[in-house]
Amino acid sequence: MKHLLLIMLATCGPLGMSFATAWSSEPPRPNIVVILADDMGFSDIGCYGSEIMTPNLDKLAAGGLRFTQFYNTGRCCPTRAALLTGLYSHQAGVGHMTDTKAGKSLPGYVGHLNHRCLTIAEALAPAGYHTLMAGKWHVGGDDGMWPVDRGFDHYYGIIGGAANYFRPGTGRWGPLALDHKVVQPEGPNYYTTDAFTDYALKFVKDAAKQDDRPFFLYLAYNAPHWPLQARPEDIEKYRDTYRQGWDALRDARHAKQIELGLLDKSWPLTPRDATAPAWDKMAKAKQADAALRMAVYAAQVDRMDQQIGRVVSTLKELGRLDNTLILFLSDNGGCAEGGTFGFGEIQTGDGAPGSADTFASYGLAWANASNTPFRRYKHWVHEGGIATPLVAHWPAGIKQHGALTNQLGHLIDIMPTSLELAGAKYPAAHDGKQLIPLEGHSLAAVLQGAAAADRGPVFWEHEGNRAVRRGSWKLVAEHGRPWELYDLQQDRTELHNMAADHPDTVAEMKTAYEAWASRANVLPWPLNEGKKKQPQKKPQ
């Protein structure tokens, strides 16, 4: 593309480049900020249909581009691995979670990023970028696997998965860390969403003081993942919002999505999940508890948006906003963990909802609303599990203000997009090890309003749930269940299974899936090392 920079190889570094590389000065390479929400559904921000107040994200959308068909992997660890590496998660070693004991000797399931991949930070640092991270890591917690070991100059956040928002670093999910050190929360008013932003902005400001080199920032919030914990003033905004219940909420969000142009009006809203009761049939006490859970969840999303506003304001103050690509997305769909109504008590003895002493989730019924208009949830690979908002904002590069794009994208595309915009190349080897070639496709052309080249099929697998998308066709199956086939151009909400009508298409896409699974280190679920059909080498 004409706007991209030419690389003048002055000396040779790990990527065939070094800091001594002479870069074209016009136009400058953009800063890149990737903001990842945790367990947030497709419809949970205003510009994707929500009633939750997200004015900062809505403003970014109004000045940028929204993707209507962007995908994650349906679960936290695999999404982070794929986003960071541009590979399918099994290829990067995180085909399941970070504590998969059964898979430690299997290349696709070692539970941490292997050494046959690079992170975006490892790829951009030799090209002259500052590489910064704050937030949730969750792709390897042992020595030598932290962010600063995988290319980031600075890091602050939680190494593991879920965390207490007011007292992180406790429990079984791993420590709170600053660079290489384990640290403790600072002060009595601590809250993870605020603290992650504080450190992200500190890192950006410090980098700007050093020099005018561009930066890559990965800001991975743990919000709105359970536990439901939020600041009282944020909860108060939503205390009465959800008393009408999930049925009315789903209808309202669906209507707004159609009005916004996110959905074709011919795609019906999926029926309420069969395990969720009709709201008006529930006892008043149960309604009150459920409404409060959703209020705390909304408060967590609201606080995240407030902090994103701080990021935008700081970039503007530094004179960096115009040439910064900001990408916002979620790691998976809304989370149904905890059954229909969620687990844990939402109120403590003193009546304070969402405090540090509560540990609750909002449950399947509200997750059903979060994922409007789709069905299924985090963990599954039907649309409700893998469809994510993607807001892209870059004043110097995106001229389609407030536009929507229906072009297919997957988070494996973020690495090649970053490389293209940075003028960097992905090497064949690193530190003496051969690297797996990138699977993603650059979205740089899409960001500038051009049509992307045909990318071929895209694949998913998690705990035996599997799918392949080819054009408008999607072949999908739950673990242990037969394949289903949908034409997403006509039926994005996956209500009309066409497998019986198109057996040849099913056969072709199934063959493509099996070929991908074989080359991408995907094994049948559940894992059983003692009965592997083929011996596999221990990962590097």
What one-character-per-residue DSSP string does 162-204 give? Answer: ---SSSTT-SSS--EEETTEEE---STT--HHHHHHHHHHHHH
CA distance 86 to 78: 12
Residues 343, 360 contacting (CB under 8 angstroms): yes
Catalytic residue among 90, 130, 138, 410: 138
By DSSP bridging, strand 22-23 and strand 65-71 are: unpaired
Strands (DSSP E) found in 244-400: 324-330, 387-393
Residue 492 C-beta-side C-alpha neighbours within 13 Å: 21
Active site residue 3: no
Element housing 407 (H / E): none
As given in the structure block, the two tokens for residue 472 are 């408008």
Residue 330 CB neighbour total at 10 angstroms: 29
Active site residue 225: no
CA distance 6 to 123: 17
Q: For residue 184, how far is the Cα from the chain centroid?
A: 26
Catalytic residue among 76, 77, 117, 335: 76
Residue 162 C-beta-side C-alpha neighbours within 13 Å: 16
CA distance 365 to 166: 26
Q: By C-alpha distance, which of 504, 485, 482 is closest to 496? A: 485
Element housing 218 (H / E): strand 215-220
Q: Which residues pair with 34 in a beta bridge?
A: 218, 327
Residues 89, 96 contacting (CB under 8 angstroms): no
Residue 437 CB neighbour total at 10 angstroms: 10
- Would you state the torsion angle of the CA atoms of residues 292, 297, 301, 304, taken in this order, to the nearest 10 degrees? 100
The overall longest dimension of the chain from CA atoms, in Å, is: 72
Tell me which residues are annotated as active site.
76, 138
